[in-house]
């Protein structure tokens, strides 16, 4: 389980899980679960575009992440936020279908982007993963207080000079970076569960934001570590354990919240 070929998997999974936990806290308190679900699915076709153009897939993921952020933020100014997210999601998937039709060598890689390929992370891929992850966490730390205030009370944030639309754009940008870097490792279908499950449980365990962020990151890392160990022992896909454990964490958090409310 700690053989040389597994070292990259442990490092990449730990870094990405920590970022998912930090960003996931704000996904939960802002009620942005749909965006956290739509952005990864709308971003993965960018890797198909990169394959057509012959460039690094990470570049395509970042470009499509940017397109998703622009689409959601611009369309959201003129209508309901969830509708803007859905329209941007459909637009990006349509472009992805177009790019996939232009290549016959990418279908196996599409499966990896949907469900993750943590064991396929090479040493050369670790550097951009770590760099982008550090940038995402650093931006979250810098914007922590205004982002928290804007999430809890947008009206109070506006009164204190924190524009809600600007904070929404900045948050979506951080979310896009986190999902783009996580896609090749845990997959588009599991980024959502890794962000929402541990963060929901952490929010139920403490009312202090800073402690909840650290707890969310810790639970997310623990989820990935247990998933890798169980996958190694059972030879089952890592994605199955990531999704299952994240769902258990979410359910435990909701049950604890319900129990407190019942008292």
- pLDDT for the residue numbered 108: 62
**Once rounded to an integer, what is the mean pLDDT over residues 111-125?**
70
Tell me the residue ranges of DSSP E strands in 21-160.
Answer: none
In terms of pLDDT, which residue wins out, 3 or 123? Answer: 123
Q: What percent of the chain has pLDDT over 70?
A: 80
Q: 10 pLDDT band (50/70/90 cuts)?
A: confident
pLDDT in tens, 203-231: 888 888 889 999 999 999 999 899 888 88
162 Rama class: left (phi>0) / alpha (psi -120 to 50) / beta: beta
CATH number at residue 84: 1.10.3470.10
Nearest to 47 by CA among 107, 88, 90: 107
Span 223-252, pLDDT tens digits: 989 988 888 888 787 778 888 888 888 888
Do residues 249 and 203 touch, judged by C-beta distance below 8 A?
no
Give the per-residue pLDDT at 261. Answer: 75
Looking from the CA of 92 toward its CB, the CA atoms found within 13 Å total: 30
Using alpha carbons, select from 19, 7, 48, 66 the residue that is nearest to residue 218: 19
Query: How far is C-alpha 135 from the chain's CA centre?
Result: 14
Report if pTM > 0.85: no
Q: What is the pLDDT of residues 44-101, one digit of tens each?
A: 777 777 777 777 777 877 887 787 777 776 665 655 566 666 677 677 777 777 776 7
Q: What are phi and psi of 103, to 5 degrees?
A: -135, 150
Question: What digits encode the pLDDT tens for the residues 141-189?
Answer: 999 999 888 888 877 878 788 887 888 888 888 888 888 877 777 776 6
pLDDT at site 116:
67
Q: pLDDT band at 5, cuts 50/70/90?
A: low
Nearest Cα residue to 219 out of 239, 238, 242: 242
pLDDT confidence tier of residue 38, bands split at 50, 70 and 90: confident
Neighbours of 252 (CB within 10 A): 16
Using the predicted structure, report yes or no on whether residue 138 has a pLDDT greater than 90. Answer: yes
Q: At what angle do helices 164-186 and 123-142 cross, to 10 degrees?
A: 160
- Tokens 């997959």 -> residue: 187
Residue 39 pLDDT: 75
Coil, helix or strand at residue 125:
helix
Is residue 246 within 8 Å of 182, Cβ to Cβ? no
Residue at token pair 């914007």? 143
Rounded to whole angstroms, the Cα distance separating 152 from 30 reads: 7
Domain coverage including residue 105: 4-262
Judged against a pLDDT cut of 70, whether residue 114 lies above it is answered with: no
Number of domains in the chain: 1
């Amino acid at each position: 389980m700690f053989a040389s070929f597994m070292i990259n998997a442990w490092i990449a999974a730990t870094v990405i899980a920590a970022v998912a936990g930090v960003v996931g806290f704000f996904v939960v308190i802002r009620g942005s679960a749909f965006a956290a679900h739509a952005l990864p699915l709308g971003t993965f076709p960018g890797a198909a575009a990169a394959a057509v153009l012959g460039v690094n897939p990470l570049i395509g993921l970042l470009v499509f992440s940017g397109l998703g952020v622009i689409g959601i933020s611009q369309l959201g100014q003129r209508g309901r936020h969830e509708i803007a997210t859905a329209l941007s999601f459909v637009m990006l998937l349509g472009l992805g279908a177009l790019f996939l039709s232009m290549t016959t060598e990418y279908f196996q890689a599409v499966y990896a982007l949907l469900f993750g390929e943590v064991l396929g992370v090479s040493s050369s891929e670790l550097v951009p993963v770590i760099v982008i992850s550090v940038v995402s966490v650093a931006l979250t730390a810098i914007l922590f207080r205004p982002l928290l205030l804007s999430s809890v009370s947008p009206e109070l944030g506006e009164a204190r000079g924190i524009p809600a639309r600007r904070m929404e754009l900045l948050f979506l940008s951080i979310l896009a970076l986190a999902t783009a870097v996580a896609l090749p490792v845990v997959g588009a279908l599991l980024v959502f569960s890794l962000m929402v499950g541990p963060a929901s449980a952490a929010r139920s365990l403490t009312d202090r934001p800073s402690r909840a962020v650290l707890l969310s990151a810790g639970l997310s890392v623990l989820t990935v570590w247990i998933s890798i160990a169980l996958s190694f022992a059972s030879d089952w896909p890592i994605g199955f354990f990531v999704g299952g454990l994240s769902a258990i964490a979410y359910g435990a958090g909701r049950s604890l919240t319900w129990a407190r409310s019942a008292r």
